[in-house]
Structure 1
């Protein structure tokens, strides 16, 4: 049985983590699957089949105030990954996100490589930002140098694929869309929500790219003119700042940070409608899930039109006034909200787990057979 090693940061709640666990579970009958995680402090929130092995790289204490801490951590993880791969001897290494993709392609191994790209490079790697304590230059230099050596670079949207090919036409980039398990979502949607008020819902990691500050500001502008409260499901680095905003607007009785809720499809289904005010997305599982369970207002983030049609429910990124107007519009007219939900449910039909997993299985089979080869 061929061995596949998956690389990712953790299996805490998130779109990447859900995708990793879903693919590993789907492949575990035909391949010997292992997962290597690089963050030991986070919980494992997704069920894995018993025949899947999970290992974690144990971190050493490092001085994070050191200017070189990012590259020092990277080099330590690279060394640990190399030792693990030498011991396991996988036939294929399948990594998720640029940090782990670069780790995978930096080590010496006979294993074939598939890497997964899920974010807009131009939107995420800005001059002022660091990801895993590493500069944008680190990512662009290594993506340019290493990605052409992967047998396949799986992009979750055509927008991301085009970005990579603009960097180098030698990158063997292809697109496999995410999919959702509609029967499971339908089953989970029937669960009770123990709330005695109507509400609008946002689900997402509490992070600047998700636009939650804009959402709270927009809601504050019109909250006196609607009956619905606002729920935000998710955790992240912005929690304290968002709570301070809520308190400063005297909205603690109307806006609630709910924390992480695994598979919150019943909350989506019971919401009057959902909102996704993101500044950037890859190809969002959460957007697909919201479309299948509720009506959705969303920003026109890069690549939005690969999922979303504009029925008058979309707004330009960062336009708080437009978002306020849409919240007011859909809060006070149930007929147009019902019609939007009907239209969007049709839009999500093509994006199924079955189709996504079939495409991944075919790609992996071809890579292992040597049918798909790296550009160099």
Structure 2
């Protein structure tokens, strides 16, 4: 049997992690032996890993990469503490010298770059294919033996501040780079044109059977609307990319246009305080409702009337595909990769990014019953699992 390793951070709630579950559920375990190496055995999605997958033991050193620094010291991992300290110091210096208004990924990159060299090699096995699923990709590049190495990109890299020279060295150690969409590829190659020949496009794979089963497993009892109100839902990390901080303003403009609805936000993250502040400032406490983290978000998608993705940028939003899979009218903003996310007017609608245009666009869709029925019908007739994409991984081994 061919041997495949997939390395990732953990299995906390997130689009990339759900996409990883999709891959694991699509694998042919009669032909492929799959080892999964998670840096931390944490996350609500751990329990959904297929039983055929060999989950490797947690590595004490690698588990130090995303926990509070004082805990690293308490656990006696002094070499990892030193690496993280060096990485943070150099990242702060780089960010200070290269301010360009974009969100920085340098702190994350350096946290791995300066600690992985201290990690002892513990997986003494040669794989036919080794996959590093989430950046930074230093561990698989430097500590794993494999005939073919593949690193994954999940977002539009043109939106971030990066240490391009440093990242080029990291990406250069891989035979292939998997991109989840053409626009994701375009954004990546704007920053790293030298890596064009390494790109292979592999769409997100969705575990359809698991998603449909989970959608029926529980109720969404805390998603309450009045009979005259439409139910809107958005899911994602509370981070700048998702643009949830603008939802209260958009919602207020929708109310002013006479639309009755409640908009539920499901997720967690560093911008929750900002979102709550905007809800209060716009007087949207009864309209925009934060439900927080949900281990199983699918009953909420199942219950909503419209799924909204108001993002500033995306690679390819997994939640949009999941909502389409569950037959929901989907409305997304015109982020750079939006046209590769759906067919506008066919299985979803793209609305302007600005608050006024976004509000007007959503209201128009909500008021167009014929269009809504068309979107639902088309979504229900299409296959959004993309399970055949796993063949592209097999092809890399065959080559």
Q: Same fold (TM over 0.5)?
A: yes
Distance 1:274 1:49, change over 3 A: closer
Q: Give the structure 1 partner of residue 18 of structure 2.
A: 18
Distance 1:39 1:77, change over 3 A: farther
Structure 2 CA distance, aligned partners of 1:112 and 1:256?
A: 46
Q: Give the structure 2 partner of residue 259 of structure 1.
A: 292
Among 355, 358, 367, the alignment partner of 2:388 is 355
Query: Secondary structure at 2:393's aligned position in 1?
Result: helix
Structure 1 CA distance, aligned partners of 2:158 and 2:239?
A: 17
Q: Is 2:268 aligned against 1:246?
A: no
Distance 1:44 1:181, change over 3 A: closer
Q: Give the structure 1 partner of residue 39 of structure 2.
A: 38
TM-superposition CA deviations, 1:224-271 (whole Å, max 9, x none): 522211101111111122122222333222221112223423322321
Q: What residue ranges of structure 2 are gaps of 5+ in the alignment?
A: 65-71, 74-80, 92-106
Q: Give the structure 2 partner of residue 297 of structure 1.
A: 331
Q: Give the structure 2 partner of residue 133 of structure 1.
A: none
Query: Secondary structure at 1:13's aligned position in 2?
Result: coil
1:200/1:275 contact within 8 Å kept:
yes
Q: Give the structure 2 partner of residue 193 of structure 1.
A: 220
Among 55, 58, 82, the alignment partner of 2:63 is 58
RMSD value, Cα: 2.9
Q: Give the structure 1 partner of residue 77 of structure 2.
A: none
Q: Give the structure 2 partner of residue 67 of structure 1.
A: 89
Among 336, 349, 359, the alignment partner of 1:313 is 349
Structure 2 CA distance, aligned partners of 1:46 and 1:239?
A: 27
Among 282, 302, 312, the alignment partner of 1:279 is 312
2:130/2:146 contact within 8 Å kept:
no
Q: Is 2:181 aligned against 1:157?
A: yes
Query: Secondary structure at 1:122's aligned position in 2?
Result: helix
Structure 2 CA distance, aligned partners of 1:175 and 1:150?
A: 15
TM-superposition CA deviations, 1:18-65 (whole Å, max 9, x none): 222332342544333322233466555451234522333231334769
2:264/2:291 contact within 8 Å kept:
yes
Query: Secondary structure at 2:130's aligned position in 1?
Result: strand
TM-superposition CA deviations, 1:101-141 (whole Å, max 9, x none): x4422457455311111111111x23xxxxxxxxx11xx22
1:231/1:258 contact within 8 Å kept:
yes
1:170 positional shift: 5.8
How does the TM-score come out when normalised to structure 1?
A: 0.81
Distance 1:29 1:259, change over 3 A: farther
- Residues matched between the structures, number: 348
2:175/2:198 contact within 8 Å kept:
yes
Q: Give the structure 1 partner of residue 48 of structure 2.
A: 47
2:158/2:188 contact within 8 Å kept:
no
Q: Give the structure 2 partner of residue 77 of structure 1.
A: 116
1:148 positional shift: 4.0
Among 197, 201, 206, the alignment partner of 1:180 is 206
Structure 1 CA distance, aligned partners of 2:13 and 2:241?
A: 17
Distance 1:76 1:342, change over 3 A: same
Q: Higher mean Cα deviation, 108-117 or 232-241?
A: 108-117
1:13/1:45 contact within 8 Å kept:
no
Q: Give the structure 2 partner of residue 226 of structure 1.
A: 259
How does the TM-score come out when normalised to structure 2?
A: 0.77
Q: Give the structure 1 partner of residue 133 of structure 2.
A: 96
